[in-house]
Amino acid sequence: MTQSYSIFATGVIAHRGASGYAPENTIAAILKAIDLGADYVEIDVHMTADRKIVVFHDEGLERTTNGNGKIHNKTLLHLSTLDAGSWYDKKFAAEKIPTLENILLLDFKKTNLIIEVKNTNNIYNNIEKQIVEIVKESNFNNHLVYKSFGTEVLLRFKELDPKRDLLYVTIGPVLNFLVIDDGLRIGSLFEFDYIKYIQVHRLFMSKSLVKKAHKLNKKIIVWDVQKKSDIKKMKELGVDFIETDFPDYVK
C-alpha cells in the first residue's frame, strides 16, 4: 500500500527559535517558538575558551552582539556581559547569549529540540562528548536530535549517544554523485544508514528527492523557507518538516 503525505501533515522546525519574531538563538526566540507550537526548535552551539557550550550561530560576535572577536577566544564570563538582542530590536536589549544548560532547563511543553553543532575542521576538540554529557545530565525528556553539516561530527555522536537521532544538513545534491555539505563531497545524501533525517536547501528540493528519502525510510527536511508561497510549494512536494524563522506560517 502506497503511503500518502498530506500537505497538512508537514511538521515545522523553528530556525534558531522563532527568529522572525525575536533575536536568533536567544531564550526569547526559543520561548516564542514554543508558544507558537513549533514541533522542533533548532539551535546552534559553539564552545568558549573555557570549554563551555553556548547557543550562538556565528563564529564571530559582531553580527548579533555588541562584542567582537571569535567565540572560541572568549570566556563564558565575558560573553555573559554582552547584549545579544539590541541588534534585532532595542526591546530585546536584556537578551544574553545562553548556555546549552540554560536552554535545556526551559519548559519545552510538547516542543522538541535540534542541536546543530558548529565544528568545521574539528576546531572544538571533544565538543560532541561535552554536549552529550550536558544532555544526559539535564534529563531532557522530549525528542532531541543532533545535527551537523559534517558527517564525521555525526559519527562521533552516534558512538557517544547511539539512542539519539541524527540529522545531516546539506546545501543539496549536485548531479547524481556530488553533495555540498561543509564542502564538496563525492557521494550520496543517503549513503549513511545511521542517519534518520536529511536536510536540503529549498532550491535543491524536488518531489523525486522526497520520494527517494521516504523509500529509504528517511525523513526529509527543507531549510531557508520563509515566504508563504514557498511554504505551500514545499508542503505540496511532501517534505516531512519545514525549517523556518516563522513557524506560525507553517502551522
Catalytic residues: 15, 57
3-state secondary structure (DSSP) of residue 100 = helix
Distance CA 28, CA 221 (A): 24
Q: What angle do CA 227, 60, 123 make, to 5 degrees?
A: 105
Q: Could you tell me the maximum CA-CA distance found in the chain, to the nearest angstrom?
A: 58
3-state secondary structure (DSSP) of residue 216 = coil
Residue with cell 530590536: 89
- Which cell numbers hold the place of 100? 546549552
Residue with cell 526591546: 91
Neighbouring CB atoms inside 10 A of 110's CB total 9
Element at 13 (helix H, strand E): strand 11-15
Residue 68 to residues 90, 97, 146, Cα–Cα distance (Å) = 19, 14, 28
Strand pairing partners for 173?
179
Q: Which of 111, 116, 189, 183 is nearest to 147 (CA)?
A: 116
Q: Are 120 and 150 in contact (CB under 8 A)?
A: yes
Q: Which residues contact 156 (CB under 8 A, 6 or more apart)?
A: 128, 129
